Amino acid sequence: MKKHIIRSLLVCAALLLLASVAAEAQLINGGFETGDFTGWTIFDDTNGTTGDATVVLFDVAGTGMPSLCAQFEVGSTVPYVYGSAGSGGGISQLVNLNSGQLNIALNVAVYNPLPLKNGEAGTFILSLDGKNVASDVFGPINGYQTNRSTLGCTTTVGGGTHEIAIDMTRIYEMGTGSSASPYQYLDDIVLSGAAVPGPIPLNIQLSDSTVIITWTNSAYTLQAAPSPIGAYTNVAGATSPYTNIISGSAQYFRLIIY
C-alpha cells in the first residue's frame, strides 16, 4: 500500500472518528495518488520531450497489482546524433529538509507496446540539487516486454530547500503515440532518514453537530474528498481551526503543502 502524505479522516452523519492523524512534511504526491502531477514540475531536456506525460494505472513494482503512476514516452526531438547521450525529460520537486541522512528510493519500469524489438528503452537518472546520485540504463527491449528496476541513494544533506529530480533519456527520436517508442514509468518515490522532517498532527474533535479540525502549521492546505483515493480538492478559505457540519455523505480530509 502506498504511503500517503497524511492518513485520511472520515466524517459522516452515521459515523464520527475522533482521532489525530499525521501529515508527513516531505515529498508531495510521491505515489501519484492524486491522479495527476500535483507537487511536481515537468521538464524537457534540450532537444527532448516527456511525450505527453500523464498518470495511469500500471504495475511498476511487479506486484501483480496496478496502481497510479507517472507515464512518459521520452525521446529526442531531433534525429539521432552519433555519440549523443540522448534527450528526454522528467519531473522535479523542491523539498524542505533538516540536516542529516537522506534516503531516496523509487520504482521504475519500461514497457514496449509493439511486437518489434526497440533499440533503446531509456536511461533513468536520479539527481539531488542538480547532481546525479543514481542511474539505470535499460538498453534494448523486446516486443511487448516490461522491464523493471529501482533507483535509490543514501547521502547527507544540510538543512533547507533541496531539489529532487528524475530525468529519463533516449538516444532516438520519440515516436507518435504507441507507434514507435517504449513507455517509461515512475512510482513510489519515497524520502526517509533523519533529514526528513517529522509529522504534524491533524486533529478532529466533536462539538455538538459539528467537528472541529485543527493543525499546527499554517503552510499546509486542508483538502477534502468523497473517498480515500480522491479526488482531493482544496477546502476554500479553510484555516485552523476549521468547523465542518456532520451531514450528508462521507468526507475524507488531508493536509498538503505546495
Residues of the chain below pLDDT 70: 1-25, 81-83, 175-179, 257-258
Q: Do 91 and 162 fall within a single domain?
A: yes
Q: Do 115 and 180 fall within a single domain?
A: yes
Residue 224 confidence (pLDDT): 85
Q: Which position has the grid cell 529519463?
A: 168
d(CA 216, CA 225): 21
Q: Tell me which residue range forms the domain holding 52.
A: 41-192
Segment 84-129, tens digit of pLDDT: 778 999 999 999 898 999 999 999 999 999 998 999 999 999 999 9
In a domain, residue 167? The reply is yes
Q: Do 87 and 156 fall within a single domain?
A: yes
Q: Do 181 and 205 fall within a single domain?
A: no
In a domain, residue 32? The reply is no
Count of the separate structural domains present in the chain: 2
Q: Do 103 and 207 fall within a single domain?
A: no
Q: Do 186 and 207 fall within a single domain?
A: no
Q: Do 246 and 144 fall within a single domain?
A: no
Residue 81 confidence (pLDDT): 64
Q: Do 53 and 138 fall within a single domain?
A: yes
In a domain, residue 155? The reply is yes
Q: Which residues, other chains included, contact 127 with Cβ-Cβ below 8 Å and sequence gap of 6+?
A: 133, 163, 164, 165, 166, 167
Residue where a domain stops, chosen among 192, 213, 231 = 192
d(CA 17, CA 70): 33
Residue 82 confidence (pLDDT): 58
Residue where a domain stops, chosen among 142, 175, 192 = 192
Helix (H, G, I), strand (E, B) or coil at 108: strand
Q: Do 186 and 202 fall within a single domain?
A: no
